């Protein structure tokens, strides 16, 4: 196998994996992330879970080609069904490149298995509000967030840990990210400036007679401007 350099997106996901973790990578595709982390000496071992036969075969082949079969197990399974908490000492889960709704569904379907998990590292392609809301509802506290751009696409990474104390997120936290909106990085501003322009364009097409619809977009625009400190 020719080793493909890990994408910036997956490199950043990997940076949030704790040293000596036992990893479950759901939707592992070619198993690039587990292979990368084992080769770095970052993790003790990993399970690469894949629900589709083709990517499963590819991942298994790659692990064998790198001689990492003792460190990485590839399993054909859906979501959290890829590990057994009574046998596998998984403590960290990565799910990258899926929609936020699907990630939440995967976690929800295997929720009883999350008791032993100390860190979730999630990279939704969309539906960030929904995913943050799910984490809050199931007592996972967001500890880190990151927003990055790669190949003209924007990605958010959400890291969450179990918490016995329910920390309620505001609507702004859910929408913009509790950490991202405080840090207001250049990429964060880029994303929401684009959203602002899109909302303004839509507003310009809404007739004055549709007062409720216009107000909806006026409120959205005002909120983005507030978060971005547009007046400053």
**Sign for the pseudo-dihedral over CA of 87, 89, 94, 99:** positive
Strands 153-162 and 140-150: antiparallel
From the list 118, 148, 114, 186, the residue with the least C-alpha distance to 13 is 148
Domain boundaries along the sequence of the chain: 8-167, 188-228
Q: Please, where are the H alpha helices in 153-210?
A: 171-176, 180-183, 186-205
CA distance 139 to 153: 30
pLDDT digits (tens, 9 = 90+) for 14-35: 999 999 999 999 999 899 999 9
Nearest to 181 by CA among 135, 220, 147: 147
Q: How far apart are CA 90 and CA 92, in angstroms?
A: 6
Cβ contact 68:43 at 8 Å: no
- pLDDT category at 2 given cuts 50, 70, 90 is very low
* Beta-strand runs (E) in 21-62: 21-26, 43-50
In the predicted structure, residue 119 carries a pLDDT above the cut 90: yes
148-190 confidence digits (pLDDT tens): 999 999 999 999 999 988 789 999 999 999 999 999 999 999 9
Of the CA atoms within 13 Å of residue 182, those in its CB half-sphere come to 7
Q: Which residues of 182-202 are buried (b: 16+ CB within 10 A; e: fewer)?
A: eeeeebbeebbeeebeebeee
- For the whole model, what pTM was predicted? 0.94
CA distance 75 to 59: 9
Q: Which CATH architecture has domain 8-167?
A: 3-Layer(aba) Sandwich (3.40)
Q: How far is CA 120 from the centre of its chain?
A: 9
Locus of tokens 């082949």: 61
Question: What confidence score (pLDDT) does residue 133 get?
Answer: 98
Chain segment 184-207, per-residue pLDDT in tens: 999 999 999 999 999 999 999 999
Q: Exposed (0-12), middle (13-18) or buried (19+): which is 163, by Cβ within 10 Å?
A: middle
């Amino acid at each position: 196998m020719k080793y493909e350099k890990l994408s910036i997106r997956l490199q950043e996901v990997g940076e949030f994996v704790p040293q000596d973790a036992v990893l479950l990578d759901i939707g592992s595709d070619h198993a690039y992330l587990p292979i990368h982390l084992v080769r770095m000496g970052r993790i003790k071992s990993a399970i690469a879970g894949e629900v589709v036969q083709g990517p499963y075969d590819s991942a298994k082949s790659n692990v064998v080609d790198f001689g990492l079969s003792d460190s990485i197990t590839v399993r054909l399974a859906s979501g959290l069904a890829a590990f057994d908490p009574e046998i596998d000492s998984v403590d960290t889960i990565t799910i990258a490149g899926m929609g936020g709704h699907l990630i939440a569904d995967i976690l929800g379907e295997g929720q009883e298995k999350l008791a032993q998990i100390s860190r979730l590292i999630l990279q939704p392609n969309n539906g960030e509000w929904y995913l943050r809301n799910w984490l809050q509802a199931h007592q996972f506290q967001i500890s880190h967030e990151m927003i990055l751009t790669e190949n003209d696409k924007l990605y958010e990474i959400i890291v969450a840990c179990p918490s016995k104390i329910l920390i309620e997120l505001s609507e702004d936290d859910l929408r913009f990210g509790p950490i991202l909106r405080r840090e207001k990085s250049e990429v964060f501003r880029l994303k929401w400036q684009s959203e602002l322009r899109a909302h303004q364009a839509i507003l310009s097409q809404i007739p004055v007679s549709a007062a409720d619809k216009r107000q909806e977009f006026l409120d959205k625009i005002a909120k983005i401007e507030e978060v971005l400190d547009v007046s400053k």
